[in-house]
Amino acid sequence: MAAQLLQDKVCAITGGVTGIGRAIALGYLSHGAYVAVNHLGDPKSCEQFQTMLEESGESKKEESGRRIVEVRGDVGDPETGKKLVRECVSRWGGLDVFVSNAGVCEFKEFLEGRSQRERKDEEERKRRKGETMQDRIREKISIPLTTLPRISPDLFTSTVQTNLTGAFYTIQAAAQQMVSQSQSSSPRPHAGSIIGISSISALVGGAQQAHYTPTKAGVLSLIQSCACALGKYGIRCNALLPGTIKTQLNEKDLDDEGKRKYMEGRIPLGRTGETGDMVGPAVFLASGELSGYVTGAQLLVDGGLFVNLQ
């Protein structure tokens, strides 16, 4: 049996029923931790949590004896983080590790309309069919600017609210609990570890991610500032930056064989990532024994993609 690197540690994770969050939550369980999993609370998320219980074997236990519990709520609501922390404290007496993972990404164009190249391509297709666009030009009728949906104000606001505002509120709630523990008469062995799931997108741009990449850069910056603010309490704050990891956010994109092969060709290790690739790094940063002198760090988990972007 593998070493239990997080034996009896109390961990909480947001967005923990799918993708990277789910893999980390189950990984923490396998290392002996207690895990509180936040999710939105919609029927699909509730069903996904039930499958986590079955996969982990926790469904066979009485509810009061389980090492995993769900906490429903939108991380954009400041109360959700507080509720998540309260559940950890009431059930298991404290909080040792907090993972801010909840995030959304809906790929959209920055502007509506087509690029000049796309316009030329369409004109060429029309020409080959025996048609031209001259009539349109004469009549000053342009190609409609609605062919590619853009980032709407609502999409921008909701992405920031989940990815960055949610990270701020939930990390703040976790940090408050960890600080109170460090100042108690019987402090926990390690003051606490906070992990922010940022992205390689914090370091590079994306044509259809102008609403997303700033939030991931923001998470990285938030973690760096938290490392400065919370170091005096012994609380460590670090960021994980996944590269191309197949999750529900990008699975349709990676199902395109051409796109997948292109990405694999850019990654030195020759493959796109799986959610399980995030577990080891997340366990490392959670463990005070393994990473007790690591704070303010950013760890790329990308198969070497970033250093090969040239």
**Number of domains comprising the chain:** 2
Same domain, yes or no: 138 and 278:
no
Catalytic residue among 82, 108, 216, 246: 216
SS3 label, residue 93: coil
CATH code of the domain covering residue 15: 3.40.50.720
| pLDDT on residue 144 | 43
Catalytic residue among 45, 212, 246, 287: 212
The question of whether 198 is a catalytic residue gets the answer yes
Catalytic residue among 100, 198, 201, 291: 198
| pLDDT on residue 157 | 97
- The predicted-structure confidence for 103-133, as pLDDT tens digits, reads as follows 999 989 999 766 556 666 666 666 666 554 4
- Given a cut of 90, whether residue 134 has pLDDT beyond it is no
Domain-located, residue 125: yes
pTM of the model: 0.87
**Nearest of 206, 157, 24 to residue 102 by alpha carbon:** 24
Same domain, yes or no: 31 and 75:
yes
| pLDDT on residue 103 | 96
Residue with the two structure tokens 């004109």: 123
- Given a cut of 80, whether residue 269 has pLDDT beyond it is yes
Mean pLDDT calculated for residue range 151-162: 96
- The predicted-structure confidence for 176-215, as pLDDT tens digits, reads as follows 999 999 888 777 778 899 999 999 999 999 999 999 999 9
| pLDDT on residue 12 | 98
CB atoms within 10 A of CB 80: 23
Q: Which tokens belong to 24? A: 């980390």
**Nearest of 21, 16, 187 to residue 93 by alpha carbon:** 187
Which structural domain, as residue segments, surrounds residue 95?
10-109+153-247+274-303
Mean pLDDT calculated for residue range 267-282: 96
Q: C-alpha angle with apex 297: 286 to 92, nearest 5 degrees?
A: 20
| pLDDT on residue 310 | 64
- Between these two residues, 57 and 130, which has the higher pLDDT value? 57
Domain-located, residue 259: no
